[in-house]
Amino acid sequence: MTEYLSKRLSAVRPPQTIALALKVQQMKAEGHDIISLGQGELDFATPEHVAEAGIKAIRDGQTKYTAVAGTPELKAAIARKLKRDNGLDYEPAQIIAGTGAKQLVFNAMMATVDAGDDVVIPVPAWVSYPDIVRLAGGNPILVPMTAADGWKLTPDALAAALTPATKWVMLNSPGNPTGALYTAEELAALCDVLRDHHALIMADDIYELIVHEGSFATPAAVAPDMVDRILTVNGVSKGFAMTGWRLGYAAGPAWLVRAMDILQSQSTSNPSTISQAAAAAALDTDPAELQPRLTRLTARRDMVMEAIAKMPGVEAATPPASFYVFPSVEGLMGARTPEGGVIENDMDLSNYILAAARVAVVPGSAFDMPGHLRLAYALSEDRLAEAMDRMVTALSALELPVSA
């Protein structure tokens, strides 16, 4: 009955990350011991005081509708966080909460993008960006980044991508899938390129709290004269291990937030009242309280990097932020498996690793950067160590191609 489907849906591809999760679930149901490095979800529990705030909201009867953009209490907590951590001042009319940061990215695109509009997306990038743009009727303009540049967009590459049709430029730091982290100076250089252009800037800061080395910076703070063109998107899912609470927020120009509010009022309405109460407690948390978790994540990252050094045909620089490593596996293209199969691309390799090592990884092609894998080290140390041992064994069993 596909003739009933809208034409816009035909432009959207099912995310490979979701397909991978379903495949892993099926294999686990069949009794296989699968270790997944595929999903961007920390194994940590939601902090106890945050969970208690959600429980208290239920007990206090906070189970009714709220304003579409969020309660005054949550908006105040968001404003405090942005002032405390980023030096940014926003009024309630410039802040909106939604059912996850993804919804706010979607709302912003739907509220502003028309047919013929271009959206510049540096790649590799989170799998949803291009398809959200396509659903809104726009054209995703994919601008390749390189490992040599630290997986960061350069001013020259940005300038070359801009046209009169460019409506948005998307920036994600710390980055998914690479763990790249822009310095304040690098963001300022990109803003210099955009200063005389009309494009809006989306700053996806969802991994802000997961920085191993270096310092976090955000465009609205480094280019305050451009704040009326910048939408800062963030949430509690990554830093506070609250993926299931589905609570994101955004701050930007009042006209844009108002448009997103109207759109949201006709789709989901307000985010969960319980999640809003919990998020307010999370955002009032001193980031220093999360340091023990970050210390563990840094040790996990280092464990992955030590294992990569033992994997033939695999190489990666140590990422400074997020909880992903994005190694190149170009050296394994053309390799033969013990069964005689040929690894022709990163999808073949991820399927081989899943079959031979019982470890799930995401191919780089899912992020528009073939020849790579994304490894998420968001699981317990013992399971991560086991996954690395399995991968080293499986990849060492490949017959590498003879160099030309």
The pLDDT profile of the chain, 404 residues, written as one tens digit per residue, is 678 888 888 878 776 667 777 888 888 899 999 999 988 999 999 999 999 999 999 999 999 999 999 999 999 999 999 999 999 999 999 999 999 999 999 999 999 999 999 999 999 999 999 999 999 999 999 999 999 999 999 999 999 999 999 999 999 999 999 999 999 999 999 999 999 999 999 999 999 999 999 999 999 999 999 999 999 999 999 999 999 999 999 999 999 999 999 999 999 999 999 999 999 999 999 999 999 999 999 999 999 999 999 999 999 999 999 999 999 999 999 999 999 999 999 999 999 999 999 999 999 999 999 999 999 999 999 999 999 999 999 999 999 987 63
Q: What confidence score (pLDDT) does residue 17 get?
A: 66
CA distance 71 to 355: 48
Rg (alpha carbons) of the chain, rounded to whole number: 21
Q: What percent of the chain has pLDDT over 90?
A: 91
CA-wise closest residue to 153 among 125, 113, 132, 119: 125
Assigned CATH topology for domain 64-285: Aspartate Aminotransferase; domain 2 (3.40.640)
Same fold, 2-45+290-396 and 64-285: no
Instruction: For 23-66, write each residue's pLDDT tens digit.
Output: 888 888 999 999 999 889 999 999 999 999 999 999 999 999 99
CA distance 125 to 121: 7
Q: What confidence score (pLDDT) does residue 16 get?
A: 67
- Neighbour tally for 223: CB within 10 Å: 20
Q: What confidence score (pLDDT) does residue 403 get?
A: 64
Q: What confidence score (pLDDT) does residue 404 get?
A: 38
Instruction: For 86-102, write each residue's pLDDT tens digit.
Output: 999 999 999 999 999 99
Indicate the domain borders of the chain: 2-45+290-396, 64-285
CA-wise closest residue to 75 among 289, 288, 290, 283: 283
**Global confidence as pTM:** 0.95
2-45+290-396 belongs to CATH 3.40.50.300: no
